[in-house]
Structure 1
Amino acid sequence: RLLVRDAVRTQGRLQPDVALIYAALSTDAAAAQRSLQDCGVGDCSVVISPADGREDALLGTATAFAVAESHTASGGHSVVIIDDVAPLQAFWESASTLLQAHLGTTGDPSEVRGYYGVLTERAGCLTPALGSGTLSALFLAANPSERRRAGAASTGATDRVYDLAEFTGDKYGPKVRARLQLLANKGVPITAATVKKLSIPVPEAPASGAALVHVDHLMSLSDGHISLDPGLAREGWVPSLD
């Protein structure tokens, strides 16, 4: 979200007449509004804050696009920010569970594309005959491995003892494995805290397949998409557009 704030701040400075519609799916509405005010775009922004619930996340997202389309139809320029894709994914999975329970079938993974396409296809640039308005959309999706690490930290799973066999791949050279073997021989448990002290990265389990499928479909639907790159942000690029 810090990267989004940089992008929003720059957008407001370069094009202050753009309407910003923020769908706060996993952010407190008041906090989102304060953040937009801090970026200097509070006076031209709308925060959509759906009630709790998976279906409300989808309704909130659709509402954000509807508000933006109204502004765009009058020749204005709009930017929709969906602050978290996870609730939309949760709604899809919930609907699939209901289909399985009542009809004995689930949503086909290929249909995920159509699910998001209904939203992403609303972004675009109108022709002069239609007023030349534009609608841009920004979907925030956390890296699945980052979500997993956050979940592990909240449940205390960071105390898990790793097996030496998990330290494989190019980032774990012979010297690294030798150091870990030495610790294991001394009876030192190989935990996240232990390897962190040695500046050794923690092994990661395979990322969530479902999460990756949803993000991949969003990226493929966004023809000519632009992403916010944390690496560029660390190098001082603001906004960190890739």
Structure 2
Amino acid sequence: MSLFRKRLQKPNQLETMRKIVEEVDIGKVLLVGDGFAVIQGLNNDAPVGCSLKFVSGASGVLLWRRSDNICLALLLGGTETIEVGEGVECRIRAILQVVDEQQGPTTKREYDVAKVPVGEELAREVVDFLGRAPGTQVQLGTSAFAPLLAEQPDMESREQIAEALVTGVKALDVLTPLGRGQALLVTGVRHTGKTALVLDAILGQYRSGVRCIYAAIGQSMEEVSNTVALLKRKDAMAYTTVVAAPEGASLGERYAAISSAVAIGELVRDRGGHSLVIIDDLACMVEVWESITKALATLGPVADVEGNKLEDSMDEEQLVEYEGMLVAASAAQRRRFFSSLIQRAAKLHKRLGSGSLTLLPVLAGAPARGEGPRPPDAAQYKHLSEAQRAKLQAALEAARKDQLSAQQEGCVRTEVVEEFMSIADGQVVLQREAGSGRVSVDPQASVSRIGSRAYPPALADLAVQLRFELAQAVDAARFGHDPDAAAVRQQACFAEQARAALAQTPGHPVPLEEQVAILYALQSGFFQDVSPSSVPLRQSIFIQSLRRSNPGVLRDIAATQQLTDDARAALGHALEEISAAFSPSN
């Protein structure tokens, strides 16, 4: 022990001296837009997420930086007082000057990072991005703060996603299972039930221990109030925080509300817990990016000393390598920006506590399907002259465009939907079935890239088989040579019964054990003799009978999340008894 101490006290041990000096950077405002400002002259050490203060009293956060050190700041208030040319202060907490015998003096700058309150007392509350309740200036959740724009966890900090997060939404849990730490995009055109689906996912976390955060972006206060009323009726506000940026909020406030909701979930994750963050909806991210591109386009391309354009010039024609692909420079920049949010979802490594943040972002739009509506053709009208046919064709094309425009009103472009789908760990695509008015999940366009790892064991085999059978039915209907063939009709009938079995009333999540029982009954032929419209009634009778006559099997499935041989036998016996009761002889 004495020898060890002597080694530590040798004279060649480095001596250090530290000196702290306060500094402030002054930048020049080049452009002010809707919720953002373009700034020149900030220190190039200032990181994304750095807190900015304008001399007018407005505040912002550094969001984007070009290689020529022109920055884009997201404005969080007081935007009407900012003028072009006015100075912006990037407050530097300190300069830490370290002097040692070998390296000489070095300087490390430490910046004020924009932080938001994320404390546990935010549960049960409706707040804005600064933790303030509507109509007040009092901050809640101040027992803990976290960066508004935190970096996504690196690969070494992550663990493989292999644990299910059951939502209680049958179509979601069966067709596109959600794993803890996964980012699953929820998309579909307007009025396809996206909000109802994600709210049911919150209700499904009752007594699960999962902390929920719901970001209500661009909704009316009436819609936010209705959502909160639903969550309170179902005792879900006890574990839920609603972060609202209602209609009329600036672009900066909407983006900040999204980031604040994720920051709250990150605190839960980093403390070893599990959080579910829902962003409703994600179109604000697209608006922010469009603001970035429009603002920076007015400043011209970035050039090096020889006048050559650089990669971050957002040139549509210039190709760069990104994630092993050759893509347009602008697309690579956009993808990197979208990823900065989506990839904050993660399952942390066990050495970091094994916590998780699961993300369900909502986006109004439709993915590409490889096919489009058949274009109208006026050539079939042979009795018309060439001029008349041309006029009719133009009218038909205009009508088709108007119809598509009406259907896609309020939706983002398909290209952007595809971009988010490729970044996320999967997507659930909602569609409204023609004639039925029923909202359903498109089993072919919806996929979880986590695969069967995201299924609870009790559901895995049954759900995979059902997905296969639904895909077969769609292919048979689309490519079958004889749609009236018995096999094709049988597959189509089963698909209709399956869709009816997966449908559910909004506001009533279905626990895992009941989903397993319903799926087992479906694949055992329990619904084969009834019309799809009668399937919900028959499955309700089946579940009620199970609860009454054999509740133990449901309790065992819930406790073990396994479908054992004994459980299968019990379910089969129950199905036989109920089928006998429905027999015409009775």
| 2:406 matches 1:213 | no
Q: Percent identity?
A: 24
Q: Matched residues in 2 for 1:80 and 1:135: separation?
A: 7
Match of 1:26 in 2: 218
Is 2:201 the partner of 1:4?
A: no
Paired letter, 2:230: S
Q: Deviations over 1:183-231 (max 9, x none)?
A: xxxxxxx99xxx9xxxxxx8425969962222212111112x2415342
Match of 2:340 among 118, 131, 135: 118
- The aligned residue for residue 404 of structure 2 is 204
Aligned residues: 198
Q: TM-score, normalised by structure 2?
A: 0.30
Following superposition, the deviation at residue 38 of structure 1 comes to: 4.0
Seen in structure 2, the aligned counterparts of structure 1 residues 39 and 98 have a Cα distance that, compared at 3 Å, is: farther
1:135–1:31 CA distance, 2 compared to 1 (3 A): same
Whichever of the two has the greater Rg, that structure is 2
Structure with bigger strand share is 2
Look up the match of 1:62. 259
Change (3 A) 1:46 1:210: closer
Bigger drift between 44-53 and 118-127 goes to: 44-53
Indicate the SS of the match to 1:103: coil
* Higher RCO, 1 vs 2 (CA within 8 Å, ≥6 residues apart): 1
Structure 1 residue 94 displacement after superposition: 1.6
Q: What residue in structure 1 maps to residue 553 of structure 2?
A: none
Partner of 2:213, secondary structure, is strand
Higher share in helix: 1
Equivalent residue number for residue 500 of structure 2: 235
Q: Deviations over 1:156-176 (max 9, x none)?
A: xxxxxxxxxxxx618x899xx
Task: Give, as a single letter, the amino acid of the residue that structure 2 aligns with 1:6.
Answer: D
Report the secondary structure of 1:141's partner residue.
strand
> Contact between 1:3 and 1:228, CA under 8 Å: does it hold in 2?
no
Cα distance change, pair 36–214 in 1 and its aligned pair in 2 (3 A): farther
Per the TM alignment, residue 16 of structure 1 is displaced from its structure 2 partner at its CA by 2.9
User: In the superposition, relative to structure 1, how do residues 93 and 35 fare at CA in structure 2: closer, same or farther (>3 Å)?
Assistant: farther
Q: Give TM-score scaled by structure 1 length.
A: 0.66
1:102 aligned residue (281, 299, 311): 299
Q: 1:104 to 1:232 in 2, by over 3 A?
A: closer
Distance 1:46 1:217 in 2: 29
Deviation at 1:102, TM superposition (A): 2.8
Q: CA deviation at 1:127?
A: 1.9
Whole-angstrom CA distance in 2 between matches of 1:7 and 1:72 = 18
Give the unaligned 5+ runs of structure 1.
146-167, 182-189, 196-201
Q: In the aligned structure 1, how far is the partner of 2:414 from the partner of 2:252?
A: 21
Matched-pair contact (CA < 8 Å) for 1:24–1:32: no
Letter in 2 for 1:35: L
What does 1:64-213 align with in structure 2 at a 5 Å threshold? 64-103=261-300, 107=314, 108-143=330-365, 169=374, 203-204=403-404, 211-213=413-415
Q: For residues 201 and 430 of structure 2, what CA distance do their matches in structure 1 show?
A: 11
Report how far residue 236 of structure 1 moved.
4.4
User: Could you tell which deviates more after superposition, 205-214 or 25-34?
Assistant: 205-214
Tell me how far apart the structure 2 counterparts of residues 79 and 228 of structure 1 sit (CA, whole Å): 19
Q: Which amino acid aligns with 1:74?
A: R
- Is residue 269–residue 356 contact of structure 2 (8 Å, CA) maintained in 1? yes
**In 2: Cα distance, 1:169 partner to 1:228 partner:** 22
- Would the alpha carbon gap of residues 101 and 3 (structure 1) be closer, same or farther in structure 2, given more than 3 Å must change? same
